[in-house]
Amino acid sequence: MTARAATSLRRVAALALTGLAITMNSQAASERTLFDFQAPTNSPAWQIVNDDVMGGVSTSRFQILTNGGAVFSGVVSLENNGGFASVRSSPTRHDLTGCGCFVIRLRGDGHRYKFTARTETGFDAPLYQCAFETKRGEWEEHRLAFKDFVPTFRGRILTGVPPLNPAKVASVGLLIADKQDGAFRLEMSWIKASP
């Protein structure tokens, strides 16, 4: 191989590596961490909303652990026409334009949960929900596509409401319902948005 050919080959390789680096950086940059419960300084305020707002007696709590992670736990009761427990993040505008799903890393208990999102901060704003199943005691990553979120209000599916707008996400949360009475526990490492 001549010196000139070797130089050309090195340039082509350098350009290919530069292109690969740019592609990898743009992909990494488009993934956004909303909540990292492993970070010691991450202690955002989260609000519990259970069925006691309508006379039920379900209980829950949301705890950020000192050794990393967060836990949503409690007891769902079907008494007094109740049957749900939920937690949501404090209102903070998240512009998730360019993303197509939420990704959550968690360890469940075998129950079915719903990941929720709001685009408005009012208490009576539509609640977008996407259900997922957990495996007892196993760490998993769930990818929940924005297109799969269903708009609801007080448990009823809404019609004539626009789909979840990723540019206007104001709050996210978790919900356990669907007549799953008894104790529950869901551990989380982080919540991200991804392409």
> Considering Cα of 28, then 31, then 35, then 36, what sign does the dihedral take?
negative
Rounded Cα distance between 96 and 102, Å, is 10
Q: Are residues 106 and 160 in the same domain?
A: yes
Q: Are residues 26 and 36 in the same domain?
A: no
Asked whether 110 and 135 are in contact (CB, 8 A), the reply is yes
Q: pLDDT per residue over 157-193, tens digit each? A: 999 999 999 999 999 999 999 999 999 999 999 999 9
Q: Are residues 132 and 39 in the same domain?
A: yes
Q: pLDDT per residue over 48-103, tens digit each? A: 999 998 899 999 999 998 888 999 999 999 999 999 999 999 999 899 999 999 99
Q: Are residues 44 and 96 in the same domain?
A: yes
| Single pTM value for the model | 0.83
Q: Are residues 11 and 100 in the same domain?
A: no
Q: Are residues 26 and 40 in the same domain?
A: no
User: 75 is in which domain, residue-wise?
Assistant: 32-194
Q: Are residues 5 and 91 in the same domain?
A: no
Q: Are residues 68 and 126 in the same domain?
A: yes
Dig out the tokens for 119 from the structure.
Answer: 């685009």
φ and ψ at 88, to 5 degrees? -140, 150
Q: Are residues 8 and 37 in the same domain?
A: no
Residue 1: per-residue pLDDT: 55
Say how many domains are in the chain.
2
The CATH number of the domain holding residue 90 is 2.60.120.430
Q: Are residues 51 and 137 in the same domain?
A: yes
Looking at 11-20, 28-37, 91-100, which range is the least confident one?
11-20
pLDDT at 15 over 50: no
Q: Are residues 65 and 161 in the same domain?
A: yes
Q: Are residues 21 and 36 in the same domain?
A: no
